[in-house]
A and B are shown apart, each in its own frame.
Chain A
Amino acid sequence: MVGDSLCWMQSATNWPETGSEVIALQDSGTWNQVLRVLSLSDYNTRVVILGTAALGVACGLIGSFMLLRKRSLMADTISHATLPGIAFSFMLMVAFGGSGKWLPGLLLGAALSGLLGMGLVLIISRFTRIKEDAALGIVLSVFFGLGVALLGLVQKMSKGSAAGLESFIYGKTASMLTSDALLIGAVAALSVLTVLLLFKEFCLLCFDQDFAAAQGFPVGKLDVLLMTMVVLVTVIGLQAVGLILVIALLIIPPAAARFWTEKLTTMALIASVFGGVGGALGAALSAVVPKLPAGAVIVLTNSLFFALSLVFGSTRGVLVRFLEQRKLSRKVGRQHLMRALFECLEKDGLQSVSFEGLLDHRSWSASELHRLLHQAERAGLISQGVEGIRLSAEGELQAARIVRNHRLWELFLINYADIAPSHVDRGADRVEHVLDPKTVHRLEELLDEEQKAASAISSPHPLGRIRKADA
């Protein structure tokens, strides 16, 4: 990817400006213009923003399948493989007397060359012993190298002005004409429609290719069709974000969407929304702020969505996982405390227990116990006074239930798993926290009627911390 950054630097210096229909707002900065863009009152701006949004939606949707098929990098190879097609179609158009800048012609060349690259990857990995990752790398670098060389030749041609061709490398919404935006929107709509029609088939292809084939689905053709969709959105994305960054539109929104859901339809929907909003925002920003390349802004907007999803995602986000973990460890800590209190009181037949007595009952540190006691007191489960620690009425109820679950499980282990009474405490310690009412009911059924009737079961082993001397 060294070539990428080189090209970037080269091109960034000679940013081309073209045509009068261009909607780059060179002298903007005034609030008027900002408002004009944001309110979509300007027809051209509106079309360009909507076109880019359509591109984002299509990329998010198709990218979802690529991500699940673990083919995301295929898109990177395809986008790089479009470059020689662009240069070659330009040369061809100039040779036939055109200016060479006719966008549909350039995009057609890009699409054909992208398809060729994709076909080569599939052929290489299928018919030779070279694995897919190597095939992707080979095709990417060879095609991109060829493209860069051809662009060099194009610059030296006497006829036709090649200025602006490099904008396909890094993208430039600003140079987008209304007709270009309409083309982008139309192709995006077409590919979205195709994917929606074949949603079920693509889902099966991505999840279980062999099973799909065994049911008679032509997986080879479906695969090529899905890749063709990638070629299409890549090609229309060339102008907006450029061939280096278009991969981001296909990977980042679906990856961000995955943090919010465990359902494919929802994931595809969220990815499309992220892609669409990211696309629109990027295009709008680059229209407001002169010389701000839309491609980079779109990618950055999407990255922001990704970062937010990573942290706040409702099913897989880091924060949710952290909170769940903390909630669980709090619950476990409290249940340990309640059981220890119950056992201490039961052992000595008293109404309260001293801090030291409790500290001695289990292997926990003084600070840890203080914290647990504090939390339990706040929850109204215990009270701490001069005479010691007492269970409240609610606390007693909870403690009795926790102890009962613990002992039910211990009895189950002793009776059904042949574990020695002296060892069951440790095993039950972990399991008791996950016993749901259904499991408890099943345990009750398994164990004696007598024990079932008892509101509290006596412990099957001596209570308290096992000391070294005991062991």
Chain B
Amino acid sequence: MSQETSKVSGALGDEHSENAPLSIHDMTVAYHRKPVLWDIDLDIPEGQLVGIIGPNGAGKSTLIKAVLDLIPRASGRVMMYGKPYSEQRHMVAYVPQRESVDWDFPVNALDVVAMGLYGKLGWFRRLKKAHFEKAREALDRVGMGDYAERQISQLSGGQQQRVFLARALVQDATIYFMDEPFAGVDAATERAIITLLSSLRSAGKTVLVVHHDLQTIPEYFDYLLMLNMRVVAAGPTSEVFTEENLKKTYGGRLTVLDAVGHKLARNRL
């Protein structure tokens, strides 16, 4: 299957790498026919901490969701180590935005972390003691060991975020997608998270993080994806994190793309 893919892409003169943890080929994503991401085409290098930045509405979360098949792509392909996501699920961990779930749900921290094991456990199977031990270890790693039995609504925002991270840790993945893990957390949690992310990188994992705080970018990320409905710049942080690129990324909506998007939506093309 992968050989076949490489032949086809070779024939098209595609320069995507087979070894990239994530390569996106000409991906366009639309909501109600209005494109919100245009022609995303890039390879993410292995073993890096990758920051995804851009203004509100730039399509950062949309990019992650489209890559993980959570929303349909209007066009394009996504490959992880040369295979589509449906074949590589076991390699991927996902941390959704904290606000995306109801924290009043009747489960405790340990239950939430154990949910990271459901995918590998498969249909109908129940969690066993070994699974909960694994979940407990993950909670310890994020400094939440003492809160395992705590109902999740009794946790602070930072603690909830750590529980989500622990859930991603038990997935034991190679590629991590994290949607704003630093949103609304205290300074201590932010430090704990970044230490954890660095240790993941040291272990050879690739970590993609949607991030908002521009000040911490050079310190946190090796590689940067600057997004505003299209890829403004992608590359090592030291090269692409420039004032010019920031202006292009954050200098308002890209009016031409926006206008054309509206036309597409109206004319039902």
Contact = CB atoms under 8 A, between A and B. Distances in A.
Interface string A257-290: 0100111101100000000000000000000000
What class of interface size applies to chain B in its complex with A?
20 to 34
A216 B106 contact: no
A446 interface: no
A263 B108 contact: yes
Contact of B94 (A197, A201, A211): A211
Contacts of B32: 129
B59 interface: no
Contacts of B127: 200
A393 interface: no
Interface in A201-218: 201, 203-204, 206-208, 210-217
B118 A208 contact: no
A70 B96 CA distance: 19
Nearest to A258: B106
A214 B108 contact: no
Contacts of B107: 203, 207, 262-264
Interface in B110-141: 111-112, 115, 118-119, 121, 123-127
A413 interface: no
B151 A215 contact: no
A210 B102 CA distance: 13
Interface in A183-213: 197-198, 200-201, 203-204, 206-208, 210-213
A68 interface: yes
A221 B210 CA distance: 30
Contact of A210 (B100, B111, B123): B100
B89 interface: yes
B86 interface: yes
Nearest to A263: B106
B89 A216 contact: yes
Interface in A35-91: 68, 70
A263 B111 CA distance: 9
Nearest to A262: B151
Interface residues of A, number: 27
B70 interface: yes
A264 B100 CA distance: 19
A418 to B, nearest CB: 16
A205 to B, nearest CB: 10
Contacts of A206: 105
B124 A198 contact: yes
Contacts, number: 73
B106 to A, nearest CB: 5
Contacts of B123: 198, 201
Query: Of residues B92, B115, B171, which shows the largest number of chain A Cβ atoms within 10 Å of its Cβ?
Result: B115
Contacts of B183: none
B65 interface: yes
A262 B124 contact: no
A214 B80 CA distance: 14
B12 interface: no
Contacts of A129: 32
Given A68-B106, A263-B106, A267-B106, A197 B115 contact: no
A213 B70 contact: yes
Query: Of residues A211, A258, A263, which shows the largest number of chain B Cβ atoms within 10 Å of its Cβ?
Result: A211
Contact of A68 (B96, B105, B111, B112): B105
Query: Of residues B65, B119, B125, which shows the largest number of chain A Cβ atoms within 10 Å of its Cβ?
Result: B119
Interface string B77-100: 000000000100100101010001
17 contacts: A70-B102, A198-B124, A200-B126, A201-B118, A207-B101, A207-B107, A207-B112, A208-B101, A211-B167, A212-B118, A214-B69, A214-B70, A215-B89, A215-B171, A264-B105, A264-B107, A264-B111
Contacts of B89: 214-216
A26 B101 CA distance: 53
Nearest to B69: A213
Contacts of B112: 207
B68 interface: yes
Given A68-B102, A210-B96, 17 more contacts: A198-B124, A200-B126, A203-B107, A203-B115, A210-B100, A211-B94, A211-B167, A212-B118, A213-B68, A213-B69, A213-B70, A214-B70, A215-B89, A216-B86, A217-B119, A258-B106, A264-B107
Given A129-B32, A216-B89, A207 B124 contact: no
B119 A207 contact: no
B69 A207 contact: no
B100 A204 contact: no
Interface string A330-360: 0000000000000000000000000000000
Contact of B115 (A68, A208, A261, A263): A208
Contacts of B119: 215-217
Contacts of A68: 102, 105-106
Nearest to B167: A211
A198 B125 CA distance: 9
A262 B115 contact: no
A198 B118 CA distance: 11
Given A197-B124, A200-B127, A214 B94 contact: yes
B197 to A, nearest CB: 19
Contact of A207 (B70, B92, B105, B171): B105
B146 to A, nearest CB: 9
A262 B96 CA distance: 23
A203 B115 CA distance: 9
Contacts of A212: 118
B118 A207 contact: no
A214 B92 contact: yes
Nearest to A196: B124
Contacts of B108: 262-263
B207 to A, nearest CB: 16
Nearest to B151: A262
A72 to B, nearest CB: 14
A366 to B, nearest CB: 38
B118 A200 contact: yes
A198 B123 CA distance: 8
A68 B102 CA distance: 9
A147 B125 CA distance: 42
A463 B115 CA distance: 54
A388 B55 CA distance: 68
A130 to B, nearest CB: 12
